[in-house]
Amino acid sequence: DTEVTQTPKHLVMGMTNKKSLKCEQHMGHRAMYWYKQKAKKPPELMFVYSYEKLSINESVPSRFSPECPNSSLLNLHLHALQPEDSALYLCASSQGLMDVWGGAHTQYFGPGTRLTVL
């Protein structure tokens, strides 16, 4: 099973709403990632979890709050978002942050959540 699943597929929310994005993988991967992708742009890294601990936070505004309840699940809690936060949010996972040679593992991406903030 090389699948990363994300729910919901689409989300429309107002600027005062609170919502959550969910990501799940059952590949035994120990690193999980959140990316934001605007139209016609490459994905931008937001957060990295390694062994359920936050490893990297790329200066993301506090209105985005990640959570890793266990090694298979990754959530992104959203609160008081702005219209410019509308984007495709991608979750990815990998075996770990690096292999025994210090190289990055391949990341496997989920289908994404298309978020629209009104």
Partner 1 sequence: ELKVEQNPLFLSMQEGKNYTIYCNYSTTSDRLYWYRQDPGKSLESLFVLLSNGAVKQEGRLMASLDTKARLSTLHITAAVHDLSATYFCAGGDYGQNFVFGPGTRLSVLP
Q: Give the residue, chosen from 47, 112, 115, 117, that forms a contact with partner 1 under the rule CB under 8 A.
A: 112
- Contacts with partner 1 in 39-58 (CB under 8 A)? 40-43, 45, 48, 55-56
Q: Which H, E and C letters describe 11-78, residue by residue?
A: EEECCCCEEEEEEEECCCCCEEEEEEECCCCCCEEEEEEECCEEEEECCCCCCEEEEEEECCEEEEEE
Residue (of 27, 66, 21) closest to 48 by Cα position: 66
Q: Give the residue, chosen from 49, 78, 110, 115, that forms a contact with partner 1 under the rule CB under 8 A.
A: 110
Should residue 100 be labelled a site residue for partner 1 when binding is judged by CB under 8 A? Answer: no
Q: Give the residue, chosen from 19, 63, 79, 105, that forms a contact with partner 1 under the rule CB under 8 A.
A: 105
CB of 11 to partner 1, least distance (A): 15
